[in-house]
Structure formats: C-alpha cells, structure tokens
Amino acid sequence: MPRHYIFSLQLVFLLLTGGVAGAQEITSGWDYHFPLEIKPKVSGSFGEIRSNHFHSGLDLATQGKTGLPVFAAETGYVSRIAVSAGGFGKALYIDHPSGYTTVYAHLESFSPVLDSLVLALQYQEESFEINKYLKPGDFMVERGEVIAYSGNSGSSGGPHLHFEVRITEGQKPIDPLAFSTPVKDDVRPHITGIKLYPLSAGATINGQKQPVYYPAVFYDGAFHLKHNPDIRATGTIGVGIDVLDYYTGSWRKCGVHSIGLKVNEEPVFSSVMDGFFFHDTRFVNSHIDYSDKMISGRTIQKSFVDPYNHINLYEFNAQRGKIVVEPGSDFQFDYLVKDISGNGSSLCFSVEGDRFLASGPVADQVGIFIDADAPYFYEESGHKVSMEKGTFYEDISGFVGVRESFISESGTVFSIFDKTIPVHNGFEIRFPLPDSTETNGLCGAVLDGNLMPQFAGGKADGSEFVINSRLCGDFLLVRDSVAPLLYLKNPPVQNKYSNREKMVVRMEDDFSGIAQFAGYINDQWVLFEYDAKNNQLTCFFDKVPFLVKGNHSLRIEVADNAGNVELLETNFRY
C-alpha cells in the first residue's frame, strides 16, 4: 500500500475525532495574498448575472493552462473540501482569523498532503464525490502557502480559478476586489441600451402597451440613446438598463457594481452589489427582465423592484422604482453606472407625458390570474398543479390547461404558463396514470424552444406521476428505455496498460443523464474521476492503492436517471 494512503487514513481518523469550533471577527481593510502569481486577468466578476444566480466570486483566467499553483490568501484552517462532477468541481474552503472564508474552485488537484487526504476519504466512502467539513486546528495553512493547483473541473467552461471571499458568519460572498488587489481596471462600463415598460393598466410607451427597447451609443464622453428618439409615455412606467463591463486586458463580458437612476434629479432607484446570501441568489430572475432573456438573450437589469423580490440590494422610491407619468409632464432620466474600481458611465434621456391617454380596453390580462401572495391549485382531467405562496415575484396571468399529444406517454401535454415567466419556489405537477401503465423508464419532460422533450425528472406515486419544477412550460411524460453508452476510450492493444498512467472510459446518456456509477478492479471499489462535461471517467493508476503488476478484471456499473443500467466488463494488464 502506498505510503501517502496510509498517512491519509490516519489523518482521516484524526479529523473525525478532534477539533472545536472557534469564534471569528471581521477585519476591516483586510490585506490578503492574491491566489495566483501570474498577472491577473478577470474573466468573470463578482455579482455577474448567471443562469438562475448571481456569480459568487471572481474568475481568474490561467492563460489557457491548468496546474498553476494556487496560494492561500491568509493563515487559517481548511474548513471544507468538496469534490463533485459538476458545480465547483474540486474546491477548497479556508476559514481565516479575520472573519473571512476564502474559496478556491475548479481545481485540478490539491496540495500533495490534501490530495492524499481526499483520496483516503474517497476510498473510505467509496465515492468520487465528497463533501467533508473539517474543524479548527485539523488542517492549518499559512499565508502564501501552495494549497492547490488550478484546473478546469466541474462545470467550468475553460481553465481558470474561481476565487471567493465570504464573511464566515452566514457564508455571505462579497467582492474580492473590494480589498486591495493587483487587478487593474481602467475600463468604464458599457451601456448597450435601455428598455421602457408600461406597468399599469392603460400605460403606454409611444402609444404601445408593450415594452420598447432603445439602443445606446457613446460619444462626447457619455452614452446617449441612438438617434436621440422622442419618447412619450402615459401611466406608471419602469425602466431597465442593458449594461456590461470589461476589465483591463480582457475581452470577457462582466457585471457592474452599482446602478443609480434619478428622475428630475430625484433618486428613484439604486442597486449595489456589495454581497448576497446564497438563499437569495435566485432573485436574479426578478432582478432582470427574465422574459427578454429567454426570448432575445439580452440581460436587462430592471430599475424597479417586483413586489416579492426580497433580496437586499436596493434602495428605491415609494413606488419601488416605478414612475408615474402625468399627461403633459416632462421627465429627465439620468443613469450612472459604476464598476467596483469606480469607473463610471452615464446616460441621460427625456420622456414626455403623453397628452393623449390610451383608448379602448385597458386590461391586458389573459387567461388564468394568480395572486403571487397566495397559494394556487389547478386541476383538469386528473392533471394537477400545486403552487405555494411566493412561487412568483409578482401577480401573473396566462394559460394553464391540458391538451392532447401523440408524443406523450400519457397522451397529454400539461401547459403551465410559458418559459418567459420566472419561478422562485418550485411547484408540483401531477399526471394521472392508468392502472396498466408500466412505470419503468417513465420520465417527466418539458418541451424546449424547438418542441423537443428535455428531461424534467419525476417519479410514479401510486396512480399519479409527480414532477417538481422551477420552470414554467409545456410538460409531458416520455419513456427512456436506452441505457447509457459505456466503452474504453483509446484502449491499448490487448488492453495492455503497462505503459499508461490512466484508463479513460467514455460514459454518455442520450436523455435523462447519469445518476450514479461505480468502478471495480478485481471486485474492489476503485476511484474513477467523473468529468461530466466531457462525458468520461478516468482512473489514474497511481491512485489505486492495491494495484500491482499483472492481469486484472475491470467492472463498471452505470445507471441513468430513468433507472436504465449498463455494465462494462473486461480484463486488462497493468
């Protein structure tokens, strides 16, 4: 048995039996050691808007390479080690006496002693994925110590280091660039355009009852609306801004730190990305124009706040950032947007109160109405949907109903509004199942923009099939009866791996996705590292403590989320 593995088992025992939690205090003006020694290039900023969440850290490009040394920001102790196929991949958490926690994610590997600890935990739990919390004093590190090596693990889209600073109490992420760092930024935010929204019954923008987008251009030191358009409005309106930021020497689109809006020199709205709690991060879907994002891909940040958006980022007027436009009145809108380095961009435009109110029907409400402050239940032909209070960010209306479908195992599609409506809390959908229905391989699905079914999970519950969702759309039942594809990738002649350092197995699934896997050599569990984005398992031979020269048997078992199982069995020589 390799020496590092024996040491790791001893360390695991110590970690399971010792240590007591200690209190920490926040240190203002914290000066930390930057985690990389190369010239920093930001590829993703703190608070940047991502799918269903705000980005919780700083992405630092690593010159297209992996394996760069990663340094501890400050003296402290390793409080958590996590390994997963998606998300942060290989990640390390360090608690510091200053009251902060630093996080280092998408790593290729940990320092040798931590790597051996992780390996021991993986064999102890017989799992590639681990999530181990350590206690103060278990594993200390010094400021500037090499703790890991940068990588591209988990859901990373390319080699980089994801670095976070959190307030330890509550694990609240804050911007790492709020402290002194070597990151240079002399680039002002770029304002792409604005969008005006009619928000009350009868409200209009230039006579339309639909929102209107106006592109922006830069000249004379500021941003202006293209062609200086005349804008007229009536009723209660809101405005949103399409803005992004760049860092010096990087072409990557990043987020801004603050947005301020004044109307006739009076502040009506501001947002400041100083930090947020993870349980609030999904409010990003209310922070932006979610519908526009789904349809056009634009990321427009609203300068008015929905009634049930409770994240603590805003200050606003009595109307939550909305503006009441009186006929014949003139309004001067002034935006000031800044990044964390203080670079600012401004945009000003005028809106005239239309002297002519909209004629004809004023109600735009169509179909079923939902009060976002109350639970909602709907049933039709045995199909049911149940929503708790707070599922949506504001009152909504739209279509909910059942229609026939030849591609659905139930013969029906259950439409629950559409994909342009953001959902905060998940809701439950139930399809009726006839007694004769075979449930093996039965899955919930939702239709995508091309009307193709996408896996939505779910399970049979007696005479019903239950799907839990945080998306609106068209739901149906499909059957996945195809097991995952499993084969050795580029095996040597006669499977002789004597001159190779690793064995790679290709693992793919065409619909429901991989649920679990396990690998065995000579009927003993062995570590295969799972790279989900590249659909492959890798066994590094130096991480198999019992492997010796000679002939061996290999068995890999894989199951998808529909319960289909595939088995790969073969022999190899090492």
Q: 3-state class of 13 per DSSP?
A: helix
Which is it for strands 140-141 and 76-83: parallel, antiparallel or unpaired? antiparallel
Q: Which of 24, 21, 23, 26 is nearest to 136 (CA)?
A: 21
How much is the pLDDT for 434? 86
147 and 13 both lie in a single domain = yes
* 408/444 same-domain check: yes
What's the total number of domains in the chain?
4
CA angle 83, 86, 92 (to 5 degrees): 35
In a domain, 361, yes or no: no
CA 456 to each of CA 470, 473, 553: distance values in angstroms, whole numbers, following the listed order: 10, 11, 37
Tell whether 446 and 391 lie within a shared domain: yes
Tell whether 303 and 440 lie within a shared domain.
no
d(CA 524, CA 505): 18
Please, what is the end-to-end C-alpha distance for the chain in angstroms?
Answer: 16
Query: Rounded to an integer, what distance in angstroms lies between the CA atom of residue 120 and that of residue 85?
Result: 18
Q: Is 7 helix (H, G, I), strand (E, B) or coil?
A: helix
Domain endpoint, select from 353, 377, 396: 353
Q: What is the DSSP string of 177-188?
A: GGS--S------
On whether residue 359 sits in a domain, the answer given is no
d(CA 49, CA 54) in angstroms, rounded, equals 5
Same domain for 302 and 379? no
CB distance 209 to 203 below 8 Å = yes
Bridge partners for 331 per DSSP = 351
- Residue at which a domain ends, from 320, 353, 386: 353
Whether 107 and 171 map to the same domain: the answer is yes
Return the amino acid letter for 453. Answer: P
The reported pLDDT for the residue numbered 358 is 56
Which residue type is seen at 28? Answer: S
Along the chain (574 residues), what's the average pLDDT of each consecutive run of 10 residues?
A: 42 45 58 96 96 98 97 98 97 97 98 97 98 96 98 96 97 96 96 97 93 97 96 97 94 96 98 97 98 97 98 97 94 98 97 74 67 97 97 96 95 96 98 90 95 96 97 97 97 96 96 97 98 96 96 98 97 97
Q: What are phi and psi of 281, to 5 degrees?
A: -65, -25
pLDDT number for residue 2 = 41
Which of 145, 178, 211 is the last residue in one of the domains?
178
Q: Are residues 445 and 503 in the same domain?
A: no
Share of the chain above pLDDT 90, in %: 90
Does 281 share its domain with 174?
no
- b/e per residue 61-97 (b: at least 16 CB within 10 A): bbeeebebebbbbbbbbbbbbbbbbeebbbbbbbbbb
- Burial class from Cβ neighbours inside 10 Å (0-12, 13-18, 19+) for residue 406 reads exposed
pLDDT reported for residue 19: 39
* Structural domain for 413, as ranges: 368-479
Asked whether residue 567 falls in the same domain as residue 545, the answer is yes
Q: Does 530 lie in the same domain as 455?
A: no
One domain for residues 474 and 491: no
How, if at all, do strands 344-353 and 232-244 pair?
A: parallel
